[in-house]
């Protein structure tokens, strides 16, 4: 592992960023925010166009004759059952974000949109925008990145690296070597920094839940570090067992808790209100999602443009940041499935789940605002981490449901770290599909160290900007490898 | 012209150049694949 220059440079790069974050948090935040804002201000059209094109390409591939091609040899069969496959990819792709944003995101949009229309239309629109951020467009980014990796790895026998498609299609030329090397480096960087930030955010959310549950106020750093320590102990053992055993079990448990929580809130809360919200948002979403993907809010006022940049563009860039990790991971678990089965599974099922999830947790938030006149919008300003727990406090068995939320958040972070360690181990030694345990453990330790650094620096805003910076070049890389896939598919059929 | 303007112009040129390169590579015939 230490003989691998790619890995050493990736380690130096991530270490440098972590160190910079500790020494000069404000400087790092300012630099990242300046560059991210520059790109967002003038390139928003390109980001939205890229995301929409990826969705259109995914839909076209699923229904084209290429859809019959297997991700693997023609006699390969899927390694995981369809249910395990879906829960694993969903847990890796969204996980802790859903628990965090379930109510907080629709309400955040509602607060802005109600300045322009009445409350009821604002709630409807807020739910639509949330579904847009977590729906087909997000999953198309993951799906298509994973598809490229799976196709070239399992069908063409290439190493499971981001650079492999370029070399496979255009040969080992000077530009494919240099662009490919840079792509692999950026992929490792994006994954490591992204997961480090995810650990820190997960820890802060769990901390907020524990404080809410035990009535602690401002517990400080000791609780965060204690949660982090428990988290480290929890993710070491799955790294030592086979992926299929460790990950499938953890993902299934986390998803079962999240699903159970959703059903409980649906049944214990105002079911009629929530079901009406869900059914309305399904129709709204599927009729408006594709045209909305091309919306850039160019002619709106400053408030709307800022809101668009800090939500829609930030989310889309975040999905790109996570694409190398989730894409490679879902590619790894999708061997033996056809392109059609893969694309429809990866895009449609999680999108429906998200619509149900936000339908339940968003609607309960709107119910509390519109019918119970609860102070949830004020809570949104004071402590956004607490919103999920705020909603649960209005329901029966709130201690139990809060505990379940904490447990699910914990498991989602653990599954993310485990699968990220796996993906990084596959990258570093040159695309090994079954990396050795010690390599996975080393990556687990590095990710933990990055997470701890971010917890200690207490600067999630800086982390978000840095992740954005890591993700932006990835938009170009994803488009490049998708072009390689289309070229390879064309030559396979003709 | 401020530094921000220079970076902005550079990024615009890069985006259009990238789109051009992508289209050119897709239709390029002499691939090894």
Residue of B nearest to A488 (CA): B33
Which tokens hold the place of A419? 């699968």
- The DSSP line for A243-269 is HHHHHHHHHHHHHHHHHHHHHHHHHHS
Q: Which residues of B touch A170 (CB under 8 A)?
A: 25, 31-33
What pLDDT sits at residue B1? 66
Of A108, A125, A40, A102, the C-alpha closest to A314 is A40
Nearest-angstrom CA–CA distance, B11 and A236: 43
A258 touches chain B (CB under 8 A): no
Between these two residues, A77 and A460, which has the higher pLDDT value?
Answer: A77
- The DSSP line for A455-482 is HHHT-HHHHHHHHHHHHHHHHHHHHHHH
pLDDT in tens, A309-337: 888 888 888 888 888 888 888 888 888 89
Q: Is the pLDDT of residue A215 over 60?
A: yes
Over residues A214-218, the mean pLDDT reads 74
Q: Is the pLDDT of residue A457 over 70?
A: no
Selection from A136-140, A192-196, A321-325, A460-464 with the highest mean pLDDT: A136-140
- CB-CB under 8 Å, B32 with A170: yes
Q: Is the pLDDT of residue A15 over 80?
A: no
The total of other beta-carbon atoms located within 10 Å of residue A446's CB is 20
Q: Which of A42, A479, A484 sits opposite B11 (nearest CB)?
A: A42
pLDDT range class, residue A413, cuts 50, 70, 90: confident
A37–chain B nearest CA distance, Å: 10
Helices and strands (H and E) in chain A: how many: 19, 0
Of A10, A88, A325, the C-alpha closest to A198 is A325
A112, A123 in Cβ contact below 8 A? no
DSSP code of A95? T
Number of residues that make up chain A: 494
Q: Which residues of A touch B12 (CB under 8 A)?
A: 42-43
| SS3 category, A338 | strand
B→A contacts (Cβ < 8 Å), by residue, are 4, 7-8, 11-12, 15, 18, 22, 25-26, 31-33
**What is the C-alpha end-to-end distance of chain A, expressed in Å?**
41
Nearest-angstrom CA–CA distance, A386 and A301: 31
Q: Which residues of B touch A168 (CB under 8 A)?
A: 33
CA angle A44, A45, A47 (to 5 degrees): 65
| SS3 category, A70 | strand
Beta bridge partners of A338: A70
- CB-CB under 8 Å, B33 with A170: yes
Nearest-angstrom CA–CA distance, A240 and A246: 9
How many contacts does A have with B, using Cβ atoms within 8 A?
40
Q: Which residues of B touch A171 (CB under 8 A)?
A: 31-33
pLDDT in tens, A80-121: 888 888 877 777 666 777 877 888 889 989 988 888 888 888
A93, A322 in Cβ contact below 8 A? yes
Nearest-angstrom CA–CA distance, A281 and A106: 12
Residue with tokens 């790895």: A153
Q: Provide the ipTM.
A: 0.89
Of A139, A135, A128, A132, the C-alpha closest to A54 is A139
What pLDDT sits at residue A39? 72
Instruction: Work out the mean pLDDT of chain A and round it to a whole number.
Output: 83
What pLDDT sits at residue A428? 60
- Which residues are CB-neighbours of A286 under 8 A, at least 6 positions away? none
Burial of A329 (0-12, 13-18, 19+ CB in 10 A): buried
The total of other beta-carbon atoms located within 10 Å of residue A196's CB is 29
Cα A148 to its chain centre, rounded Å, is 18
- CB-CB under 8 Å, B18 with A38: no
Residue of A nearest to B9 (CA): A42
pLDDT range class, residue A242, cuts 50, 70, 90: low
CA angle A376, A377, A382 (to 5 degrees): 90
Q: Is the pLDDT of residue A382 over 80?
A: no
- Radius of gyration from C-alpha coordinates of chain A: 22
Q: Which residues of A touch B18 (CB under 8 A)?
A: 476, 479
Nearest-angstrom CA–CA distance, A305 and A42: 12
pLDDT-above-70 percentage for chain A: 90
pLDDT in tens, A123-173: 999 999 999 999 999 999 999 999 999 999 888 888 888 888 998 888 888
pLDDT in tens, A32-91: 777 777 776 778 888 999 999 999 999 999 999 998 888 888 888 888 888 888 877 777
Nearest-angstrom CA–CA distance, A103 and A122: 15
| SS3 category, A216 | coil
Q: Is the pLDDT of residue A373 over 80?
A: no
- Radius of gyration from C-alpha coordinates of chain B: 14
**Phi and psi at residue A75, to the nearest 5°:** -100, 5
A52, A137 in Cβ contact below 8 A? yes
What pLDDT sits at residue B33? 44
């Amino acid at each position: 592992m230490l003989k691998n220059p790619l890995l050493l440079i990736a380690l130096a790069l991530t270490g440098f960023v972590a160190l910079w974050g500790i020494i000069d948090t404000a400087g790092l935040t300012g630099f990242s925010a300046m560059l991210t804002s520059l790109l967002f201000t003038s390139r928003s059209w390109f980001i939205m166009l890229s995301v929409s094109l990826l969705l259109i390409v995914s839909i076209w591939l699923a229904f084209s004759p290429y859809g019959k091609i297997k991700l693997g040899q023609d006699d390969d069969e899927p390694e995981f059952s369809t249910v395990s496959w879906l829960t694993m990819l969903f847990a890796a792709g969204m996980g802790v974000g859903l628990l965090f944003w379930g109510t907080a995101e629709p309400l955040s949009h509602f607060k802005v949109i109600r300045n322009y229309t009445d409350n009821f239309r604002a709630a409807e629109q807020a739910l639509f925008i949330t579904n847009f951020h977590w729906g087909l467009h997000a999953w198309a980014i993951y799906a298509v990145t994973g598809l490229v990796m799976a196709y070239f790895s399992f069908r063409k026998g290439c190493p499971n690296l981001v650079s492999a498609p370029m070399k496979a299609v255009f040969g080992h030329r000077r530009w494919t070597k240099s662009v490919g090397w840079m792509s692999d480096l950026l992929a490792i960087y994006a994954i490591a920094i992204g997961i480090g930030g995810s650990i820190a955010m997960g820890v802060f959310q769990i901390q907020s839940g524990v404080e809410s549950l035990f009535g602690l106020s401002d517990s400080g750093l000791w609780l965060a570090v204690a949660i982090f320590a428990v988290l480290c102990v929890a993710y070491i053992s799955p790294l030592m067992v086979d992926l299929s055993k460790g990950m499938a079990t953890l993902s299934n448990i986390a998803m079962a808790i999240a699903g159970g929580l959703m059903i409980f809130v649906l049944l214990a809360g105002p079911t009629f209100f929530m079901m009406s919200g869900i059914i309305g948002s399904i129709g709204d979403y599927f009729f408006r999602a594709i045209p909305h993907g091309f919306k850039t809010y160019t002619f709106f006022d400053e408030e709307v443009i800022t809101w668009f940049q800090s939500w829609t563009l930030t989310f889309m860039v975040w999905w790109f940041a996570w694409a190398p990790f989730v894409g490679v991971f879902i590619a790894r678990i999708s061997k033996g499935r056809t392109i059609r089965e893969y694309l429809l599974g990866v895009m449609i099922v999680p999108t429906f789940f998200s619509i149900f999830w936000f339908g339940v947790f968003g609607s309960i938030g709107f119910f509390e605002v519109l019918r119970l006149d609860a102070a949830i919008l004020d809570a949104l300003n004071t402590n956004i981490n607490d919103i999920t727990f705020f909603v649960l406090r209005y329901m029966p068995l709130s201690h139990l449901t809060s505990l379940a939320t904490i447990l699910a958040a914990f498991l989602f972070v653990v599954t993310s770290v485990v699968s990220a360690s796996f993906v990084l181990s596959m990258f570093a030694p040159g695309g090994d599909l079954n990396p050795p345990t010690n390599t996975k453990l080393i990556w687990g330790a590095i990710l933990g160290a990055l997470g701890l650094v971010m917890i200690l620096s207490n600067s999630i805003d800086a982390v978000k900007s840095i992740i954005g910076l890591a993700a932006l070049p990835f938009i170009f890389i994803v488009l490049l490898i998708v072009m390689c896939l289309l070229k390879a598919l064309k030559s396979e059929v003709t | 012209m401020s530094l921000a303007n220079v970076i902005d112009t550079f990024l615009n040129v890069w985006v259009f150049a990238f789109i051009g390169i992508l289209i050119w590579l897709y239709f390029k015939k002499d691939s090894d694949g």
